[in-house]
Each structure stands twice: as C-alpha cells, then as structure tokens.
Amino acid sequence: MTTDGNAHYVYLNPRMGGAIAVAEAARNLVCSGAEPLAVTDGLNYGSPEKPHIYWQLRESLAGIGEACRALETPVISGNVSLYNETRGEAIYPTPIIGMVGLIEKPEQITTIAFKNEGDRLLLLGETRAEVGGSQYQEMLLGSIEGPVPVLDLEAEKRLQACLRTAIREGWVASAHDLSEGGLAAALCESAIAGGKGAVVEIQPGEWEGQLVVEQLAEESADPAEREVLRQLEAELYFFSESQSRVLVSAGPEGAEAIQKLARELGVPCVEIGRVAGSGDEAPLVIQYRGQIVAVQPLGALKEAWQEAIPWLMEAE
C-alpha cells in the first residue's frame, strides 16, 4: 500500500496534478514488486463556494479519473474534506491517493536500497527540464510557479510494464521511483537505505535542459554569468521532477536484460553509474559531462536526512 500526492502540482495545474498523484502511487507499488489494484482518495480543499476552489476540485478529479482509467485502478472508496481555510485563505488543493497492490511471490519484493557493490545503475524514463512546482524551485525562489511536469499516461504504462517484467524475471536489485527532488533525492535515499555509496556519471548528450541553458547563456553579455548558467544544466538534470522515471540497480547480466527489454518496449533507459563502497565513509560521487559536481560521504547524507525536520523546526 502507498499514499501519494503533490499539492504544488495541483495548485499550479489541477488536472495534471491529480493525474500525477495516481501515476506516482502506481509507480511506487510497481517499484516494490506489486501489481496496482485499486484506489482510495482523500480530497482536501478550501471552500467550493469560491469559483477558483470549485475549479481546482473539478479539474483535479478529472485528472484522477483519467489516470485511474488508463492504469486500470478503480476508485473503491474515498473521503472529501472541504472548507479548509484560515482567515479566508484556503490550503493548497491536496488530493491524496491511497493505492493497494498485490505481490504474488515473496521473492518479488523489491526495496529502494542499493544491495551489491558493482551493481549497475540504470535510469528508466526521459529527463526533461521540468522544475515548475518542484522542491528545487521552491528552495531557490521561495515560491512555486510555471508549468508542472507533463505526464504522458501511455509512457507511464510502458515504464510500469517494463519494470514489472524486470522484477518478475529477477533482474532488479533495487528500484526507486523519481518524484520530489528528482534523481538527486532518489540517489541519496537509495544510498542511505542500503548503506552503500555510488559513482554516478551523467553524459546526457543533447537534451532539453542543455538547449535551455545554451539559449540563456547566448543572451548574456557577462562571461561570469554565462559560466553560472552552464553550471545550471547539471542542476536541472539532477533536480528535474520529470514523470515516469525510475532509478534501478542491477547486476551486469540483469542490467543488460533490462536495457534490452526497455528498447523493445520503447522506454528510454541509460546506464548512469555503479554501486561502490559501503559504510558511512563511502562517498556518493556525482559527475556531469566529465566534471565532479558533488561528493558527499554517506554519513553526512544520513545526518542531513535524519535531521531535516528538527532543522526546519528550528528555522521557524
């Protein structure tokens, strides 16, 4: 069972945000080795007597319905909580999707934790320069705005079919869906969970983020600013919250089989590194286009992860 929802997306684009909540829930279950079966939802909004709140509710329900039909996960129960406001200010529109699934065999249970040193790291799905409503955007700007990531339900279905088959065939050592925080967050969480480091080497070729950064750099007359903009490309890649993506670790034979299956199903798949080292001193090394952009030992990552809530409470 899993629960998912991203109020940022629903606030910026209710229909897309509702669909993304369903897709992410199903993706979470598939990553665990389960077959998604059914949905229960909890719908939390402000006063529907206000036109824009009613519109948020109507549109997000439409998105939830579209995704449930596409992924064949019927809604079997739910709850609605309206008039959630303080001094006339509504909460973010927050539909929460609970989804249940079935794991047919115990050996198909899959976790996010890196397992074996030397396992290859694969990124399934396409990465685009999509940071609207993301954690990265909120951290940099202190606000959220712009277009949210686009969900292609047919691409989502192909990804989930690919991963389900790979897990059932025994090719997958770990699987982690990419959502809030993008690839950077998934790498850290899988490394912390498994107590193992990794060396990540991204050579993306030409992609959307590169084109965006190059255009901005060409428009700048300041050499220092152009260099900063070029560094932005790596951040866009690692913190993009593009949908329908999964980080997988697998042994050499399993990785080759997954890549072959992905090609057959039309799912983008690229090898991005390997599991390396164990214990708190083992580093997570991230390289982009041949340059090291981040190096942190597991102990430091674990401490930052465990202390996040106390740090935020003290900051308030």
User: Which residues participate in the annotated binding site for ATP?
Assistant: 41, 78
User: Which residues participate in the annotated binding site for substrate?
Assistant: 81
Q: Tokens 């303080």 correspond to what residue?
A: 86
- Cα of 16 vs its chain's centroid, Å: 15
The DSSP-derived string for 289-304 is TTEEEEEEEHHHHHHH
The DSSP-derived string for 99-149 is EEEE-SSGGG---SS--STT-EEEEES------TT-HHHHHHHSS--SPPP
Rounded-to-integer distance, Cα 80 and Cα 207, Å: 41
159 neighbors 262 (Cβ within 8 angstroms): no
Over residues 167-180, the mean pLDDT reads 97
Give the pLDDT band (50/70/90) at residue 309: confident
Over residues 179-197, the mean pLDDT reads 96
Give the pLDDT band (50/70/90) at residue 316: low
Tens of pLDDT, residue by residue over 246-281, are: 999 999 999 999 999 999 999 999 999 999 999 999
Q: Which residues contact 232 (CB under 8 A, 6 or more apart)?
A: 213, 216
CATH code 3.90.650.10 region(s) in the chain: 111-316
CATH assignment of 111-316? 3.90.650.10
User: Which residues participate in the annotated binding site?
Assistant: 41, 78-79, 81
98 neighbors 39 (Cβ within 8 angstroms): yes
Q: Tokens 């229909």 correspond to what residue?
A: 15
The least confident of 136-145, 188-197, 226-235 is 226-235
pLDDT at residue 121 greater than cutoff 80 = yes
Q: Which residues contact 269 (CB under 8 A, 6 or more apart)?
A: 122, 123, 124, 258, 259, 262, 263
Closest by alpha carbon to 160, among 71, 260, 69?
71
| The one-letter amino acid at 99 | M
User: Which residues participate in the annotated binding site for Mg(2+)?
Assistant: 79
Per-residue model confidence (pLDDT) at position 220: 73
Over residues 26-34, the mean pLDDT reads 98
Q: Helix 223-239 crosses helix 208-219 at what angle (to 10 degrees)?
A: 160
Mean pLDDT of the chain: 94
Total Cβ atoms within 10 A of residue 87? 4
Per-residue model confidence (pLDDT) at position 104: 94
Rounded-to-integer distance, Cα 274 and Cα 257, Å: 16
How is the chain split among helix, strand and coil, in percent rounded to 5? 45, 25, 30
The length of the chain is 316
Over residues 38-61, the mean pLDDT reads 97
Rounded-to-integer distance, Cα 110 and Cα 99, Å: 17
* Overall fold of domain 1-109: 60s Ribosomal Protein L30; Chain: A; (3.30.1330)
Total Cβ atoms within 10 A of residue 307? 11
Per-residue model confidence (pLDDT) at position 202: 94
Over residues 31-41, the mean pLDDT reads 98
Closest by alpha carbon to 202, among 249, 238, 232, 175?
238
Per-residue model confidence (pLDDT) at position 211: 80
Tens of pLDDT, residue by residue over 208-227, are: 888 878 777 777 767 777 77
Over residues 188-198, the mean pLDDT reads 97
Q: Rounded to 10 degrees, what is the CA torsion of 262, 267, 269, 275?
A: -70
The DSSP-derived string for 187-231 is HHHHHHHHTEEEEEEE---S-HHHHHHHHHHHH---HHHHHHHHH
Per-residue model confidence (pLDDT) at position 308: 84
Q: Which residues contact 311 (CB under 8 A, 6 or more apart)?
A: none
Per-residue model confidence (pLDDT) at position 315: 65
CATH code 3.30.1330.10 region(s) in the chain: 1-109
Over residues 128-134, the mean pLDDT reads 94
